Amino acid sequence: MDITLNNYLAVAAILFAIGLMGVIMRRNLLIIYMSLEMMLQAANLTFVAFSRFNGHLDGQVFVFFVITVAAAEVSVGLALIVALYRLKRTTQVQDLTTLKF
Amino acid sequence: MNALFFWLFSGGMIVCALAVILNRNAVASALCFTFTIVFMAGLFVMLSAFFLAAVQILVTAGAVMVLFLFIIMLLDLTAMEHMPRQKIWMGCSLLLALGFLLIVAKTLEATPMGSTTISSLSTPGVPMRMTVRPQVLADGRTIETTLTQSQWDRYDDTHRIGRLLFRTNTANGRTSYVAPFEITSLLILVATIGVIVLCKQDERRRPSPREEIIREAPPVEPKEPSLKN
């Protein structure tokens, strides 16, 4: 059996769905953050697969930018989590209800 | 052979991703996520994106996951491992994920190029995108030489991405990536400054833990000298 574009796209979709499940299901902020990263990586896989099958390199350039921005985003997000932990002594989302109506 | 490696990498990736969200221990989750990234780098190699595979391992599996592990160990999250799972949220997320996958499956059925096999593609995979190569001579004059397809085919993946990123020739209406590249560097600068500002302890507002202990301790009762007399 040969590998088609649909195989790659399906794997990326499954990875994205797992990340989505993690964001909704977990209550630890750090795990939620990891799941968000996973969704970004699933989008990256889609980009690279389309870039290969379409014969363009522009998709790979986009993935390059996405990886860079994701790294910057992770550093800022983890700094926010550390600041929050200093203030509230917790990283569980159900304890962070200051903005709850 | 190709198919075997595809199933190996994608299967390992999905199993590791499931382990990330199902593990109670945050450190184990982070390690599983690292393996997810490594398997994805393997998939990138199979799609002949060698440069991105290297960047993925260096940046995401190396730098980002070390940062995650460092923060997890710094915050000491072991106390939360024994909380009960929320069944209702697990059900909701599973339902949402299955709905998403259903939509994607319907879309993939209708994708016109979806059944293109990877072995039917030409070996280099990437046609030439830039025909004119500007070249600056020693006396400052710029001449433009034509890049032939055979020259382009000899370039490796990294070389091609570099040429695409930094090319200045946009005569055929295609945009150049120089401006986004520079803006990304600005973004990283902003992120660096932001992290320093966020993590800086405000010494005037937050007392040190030792001061907190001293303040919260009950005042020591002075001994009554009248009892002895």
Beta-carbon contacts of residue A6 (< 8 Å; ≥ 6 apart): B108, B111, B114, B115
A52-91 residues touching B, CB cutoff 8 A: 52-58, 60-61, 63-65, 67-76, 78-83, 85-86, 91
ipTM: 0.92
pLDDT tens sequence across B77-91? 766 666 677 788 889
Q: What percent of chain B has pLDDT over 70?
A: 67
pLDDT of residue B223: 59
A6-45 residues touching B, CB cutoff 8 A: 6-11, 13-28, 30-31, 33-35, 37-38, 41, 44-45
Whether the per-residue pLDDT at B97 is higher than 90: the answer is yes
Task: Extract the tokens encoding B29.
Answer: 């989750």
Q: Are B126 and B160 in contact (CB under 8 A)?
A: yes
pLDDT tens sequence across A5-45? 999 999 999 999 999 999 999 888 999 999 999 999 999 99
- Let me know if B12 is exposed, middle or buried by CB neighbors in 10 A (0-12, 13-18, 19+): middle
* H or E, element range at B133: strand B132-136
pLDDT tens sequence across B157-189? 888 888 788 876 555 555 678 889 999 999 999
In the structure, what pLDDT confidence band is assigned to residue B125 with cuts at 50, 70 and 90? very low
Q: Are B101 and A14 in contact (CB under 8 A)?
A: yes
